[in-house]
Structure 1
């Protein structure tokens, strides 16, 4: 029986998410991708932010596994131009930083795992982006 992309992603995330350094490294990489992104986080409690990230990634994974898009629509609303004002073009930087951090922390990372992440998260990220 073949594993689905969402199964591969779920297992990969499980290998990474219990290590706080994974989230620290993600944010360093993400903030390094743009001066504007780094400025966005200057007054942010990063411990709280890392907890929010942990949950946000899980919501994307759960959506890929068949859960409702309700939480992703709420994330989109909070990140739209009237919320955190996250421009849609930043989401590819977010995903690039996530993939690079997964590559660093997931001992079983492979081209198959990378493709699964990209496939599984794209539709959920598009829901969030479209709210802008």
Structure 2
């Protein structure tokens, strides 16, 4: 992992995560990406879900900055077929929703920032997805 990527991502997330609308918009994008995704959230407390998302993205960012993958492995287990049954193909939709949300909320978003995000968090996403 290029330390420059993790710095770019850390700063980008910092510019976005203090605005609750960031997390609202993420779920608007994510749920509009698929009827199946939308159906997963029908009985969900979205305020709590946004809090969990805030922490989950931070865990991906911290893993990119060198922290152990313990929390990501636990997240993978909770999202596996034995937990919430989040199918592996949904992670691409999740990532694209995140990129759209970052593009909307990070005033410094650029192709460089997007590439850094993708490179930085893909290994963590693979850990979560791999637990399926």
With normalisation by structure 1, the TM-score equals 0.98
User: Is there any run of 5+ residues in structure 1 with no aligned partner, and where?
Assistant: none
How far is the alpha carbon of 1:33 from its aligned partner?
0.3
Is 1:12 the counterpart of 2:12 in the alignment?
yes
Equivalent residue, structure 1, for 2:43:
43
Tell me the equivalent position of 1:99. Answer: 99
- CA drift of 1:3 comes to 6.4
Q: Deviations over 1:49-105 (max 9, x none)?
A: 000000000000000000000000000000000100000010000000000100000
CA distance in 2, matches of 1:93, 1:3: 26
Q: Output the CA distance in 2 between the equivalents of 1:51 and 1:26.
A: 12
Q: Following the alignment from structure 1 to structure 2, what is the Cα–Cα distance between the partners of residues 101 and 87? A: 22
Q: In structure 1, what is the Cα distance between the partners aligned to 2:115 and 2:36?
A: 28
Structure 2 distance, partners of 1:10, 1:71, is 18
Deviation per residue, 1:21-53 (Å, 9 max, x gap): 000000000000000110110110000000000
**Corresponding residue number in structure 1 for 2:118:** 118
Q: List 4+ stretches of structure 1 deviating above 2 A.
A: none
Give the number of aligned pairs.
Answer: 131
SS state at 1:42 partner:
coil
Aligned mates of 1:60, 1:77 — CA distance in 2 = 15
* Paired residues of 2:3 and 2:65 also in contact (CA < 8 A): no
Task: Give the gaps of 5 or more residues in structure 2.
Answer: none
What is the TM-score with the length of structure 2 in the denominator?
0.98
Compute the RMSD of aligned alpha carbons.
1.0
2:30 corresponds to which residue?
Answer: 30
